[in-house]
């Protein structure tokens, strides 16, 4: 018999290690926790959590004390290294369903190598790894620093992007991977997500991305997604709920099936992501009460003002801002910030620019833009609606994501990224 319900234990372990890293720069470098095997070397931390399984199921709060005690016992017995702080790299946990073994390291590749080699030598925390990925080596970003410096806020974090195989999602995945995060690319289009993950792993020369199938409108599928994340990396720091669809149509004509399809993905899908992602993040918070995590919904400028003959889309996006505000009020107790980012039109993305199915071609063929005879003229019409005279890009959205993560003193907000097309009322 062996324990397989890692979503219960791995986030608690991950939180404890993050918390124990303390106020050093390593606080910014959370560990990856990999469940593997059922034999642990003698140097492993050893904890008996059997008592946390009560008649009512697993009691998270009851698991925390024995876990902290086991950590303190490991520290007391560990060999002291002058001027360096050490952490266990392996944990053996006793449960009523058998023992579970977890391997902990800075990144997924190192943790997997440890588990394969059975190498439980202690992790040594250092202050040397503070340089922001791709930015200056000054460590903490100076006031007014660019988004390149800000990108260090996601370095070594475990992040999830739904709808990450193409469009804005792909841009976000690429941005986060280039900034040093481990990115779970979750998409209905698994083949697309796998292709992108493989390309990023080659480019980054590390395990930068892992593809996972999901249908965000199906609760069992969303639950399975977070189980896979816990089974693979032990926890999560940032959940980007990006998957979304459009089916435009007049309120006088639209089929209720089309309306529900859009609502199920854009609105209910976000609820399901926040529900199951929130549970995982809350569990981590039990052992890492000072660690801030984020849920970010990729909303739209159509969540800030109505969209003609596009009510299902705008309604779901407006509604999701109500969810963001409500979830933010509740989840603040667990260190989870919840914000929305509201981009303008991604005119270079496939939704608009696909040469066969894109909106430019569709609008040209439907004669939606008076006088327009080419795709370029249709595009110019939409660019002219933006005070900054261009569409929104992945880089624009990334700046907002870095802001939302870096800003510890804000939650429940909708951040517009529209080139001035939508202004505050």
Report the residue number, 67 or 341, with the smaller CB distance to ligand NAD.
341
Minimum CB distance to ligand NAD, residue 393 (Å) = 11
Q: Which of 165, 236, 321, 336 binds ligand NAD (CB under 6 A)?
A: 165
Q: Determine if 167 is a binding residue for ligand NAD (CB under 6 A).
A: yes
Q: How many helices (H) and strands (E) does the chain have?
A: 14, 15
Q: Determine if 162 is a binding residue for ligand NAD (CB under 6 A).
A: yes
* Token pair for 278: 């929130």
Query: Of 313, 363, 382, 402, which is the active-site residue?
Result: 313
CB 344 within 8 A of CB 418: yes
Q: Determine if 215 is a binding residue for ligand NAD (CB under 6 A).
A: yes
Active site residue 313: yes
CB 260 within 8 A of CB 268: no
Q: Determine if 196 is a binding residue for ligand NAD (CB under 6 A).
A: no
Which residue in the block uniquely carries the two structure tokens 């854009």? 266
- Report the side by side order of strands in the sheet with 293-298: 209-213, 182-187, 158-162, 238-241, 293-298, 336-343, 414-417
The span of 76-84, 119-127, 238-246, 407-415 binding ligand NAD (CB under 6 A) equals: 238-246
Report the residue number, 48 or 223, with the smaller CB distance to ligand NAD.
223
The span of 22-30, 40-48, 123-131, 241-249 binding ligand NAD (CB under 6 A) equals: 241-249
* Token pair for 35: 């469940």
The span of 63-71, 97-105, 164-172, 366-374 binding ligand NAD (CB under 6 A) equals: 164-172
Q: Nearest to residue 386, comparing CAs of 339, 346, 357? A: 346
Reduce the DSSP state of residue 288 to 3 states and report it. Answer: coil
* Token pair for 285: 């918070």
Q: Determine if 274 is a binding residue for ligand NAD (CB under 6 A).
A: no
Site for ligand NAD in 59-118 (CB under 6 A): none
Q: Which of 243, 274, 338, 340 binds ligand NAD (CB under 6 A)?
A: 243
Sign of dihedral through CA atoms 410, 412, 418, 424? negative
Q: Determine if 263 is a binding residue for ligand NAD (CB under 6 A).
A: no
Report the residue number, 47 or 392, with the smaller CB distance to ligand NAD.
392
CB 149 within 8 A of CB 230: no
Q: Which of 345, 393, 411, 421 binds ligand NAD (CB under 6 A)?
A: 345
Q: Determine if 216 is a binding residue for ligand NAD (CB under 6 A).
A: yes
Which H or E run contains 239? strand 238-241
* Token pair for 211: 């593809």
Q: Determine if 314 is a binding residue for ligand NAD (CB under 6 A).
A: no
**Cα–Cα distance between 411 and 402 in angstroms, integer?**
14
The span of 20-28, 69-77, 236-244, 248-256 binding ligand NAD (CB under 6 A) equals: 236-244
A 10 A CB-CB count for 189 gives 16
* Token pair for 323: 């969810």
CB 267 within 8 A of CB 260: no
The span of 9-17, 65-73, 209-217, 367-375 binding ligand NAD (CB under 6 A) equals: 209-217
Q: Determine if 272 is a binding residue for ligand NAD (CB under 6 A).
A: no
Binding-site ranges for ligand NAD (CB under 6 A): 162-163, 165-169, 187-189, 192, 214-217, 242-245, 265, 298, 300, 343, 345-346, 349-352
- Catalytic residue list: 313
């Amino acid at each position: 018999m062996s324990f397989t319900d890692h979503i219960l234990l791995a986030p608690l372990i991950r939180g404890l290690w993050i918390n124990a890293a303390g106020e050093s720069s390593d606080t910014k470098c959370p560990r990856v926790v990999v469940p593997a095997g059922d034999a642990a070397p003698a140097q492993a931390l050893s904890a008996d959590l059997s008592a946390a399984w009560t008649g009512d199921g697993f009691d998270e709060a009851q698991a925390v004390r024995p876990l902290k005690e086991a950590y303190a016992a490991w520290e007391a017995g560990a060999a002291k290294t002058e001027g360096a702080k050490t952490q266990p790299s392996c944990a053996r946990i006793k449960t009523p369903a058998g023992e579970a073994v977890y391997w902990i390291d800075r990144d997924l590749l190192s943790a997997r190598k440890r588990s394969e080699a059975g190498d439980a030598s202690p992790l040594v925390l250092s202050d040397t790894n503070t340089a922001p990925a791709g930015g200056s080596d000054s460590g903490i970003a100076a006031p007014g620093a660019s988004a390149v410096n800000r990108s260090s806020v996601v370095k070594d974090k475990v992040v999830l992007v739904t709808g990450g195989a193409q469009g804005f999602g792909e841009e976000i995945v690429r941005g986060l991977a280039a900034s040093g995060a481990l990115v779970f690319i979750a998409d209905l289009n698994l083949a697309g997500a796998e292709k992108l993950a493989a390309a990023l792993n080659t480019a980054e020369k590390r395990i930068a991305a892992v593809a996972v199938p999901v249908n965000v409108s199906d609760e069992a599928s969303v639950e399975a997604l977070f189980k896979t994340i816990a089974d693979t990396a032990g926890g999560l720091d940032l959940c980007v709920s990006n998957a979304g669809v459009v089916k435009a149509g007049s309120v006088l004509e639209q089929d209720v099936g089309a309306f529900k399809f859009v609502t199920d993905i854009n609105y209910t899908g976000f609820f399901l992501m926040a529900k199951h992602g929130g549970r995982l993040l809350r569990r981590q918070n039990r052992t890492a009460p000072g660690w801030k995590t984020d849920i970010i919904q990729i909303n739209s400028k159509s969540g800030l003002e109505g969209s003609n003959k596009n009510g299902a889309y705008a309604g779901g996006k407006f509604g999701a801002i109500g969810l963001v505000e409500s979830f933010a009020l509740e989840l603040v107790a667990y260190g989870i910030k919840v914000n929305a980012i509201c981009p303008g039109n991604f005119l270079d993305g496939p939704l608009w620019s696909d040469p066969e199915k894109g909106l430019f071609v569709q609008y040209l063929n439907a004669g939606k833009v008076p006088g327009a005879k080419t795709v370029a003229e249709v595009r110019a019409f939409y660019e002219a609606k933006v005070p900054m005279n261009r569409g929104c890009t992945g880089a624009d959205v990334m700046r907002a994501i870095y802001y939302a993560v870096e800003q510890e003193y804000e939650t429940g907000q909708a951040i517009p990224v529209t080139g001035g097309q939508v202004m505050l009322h």
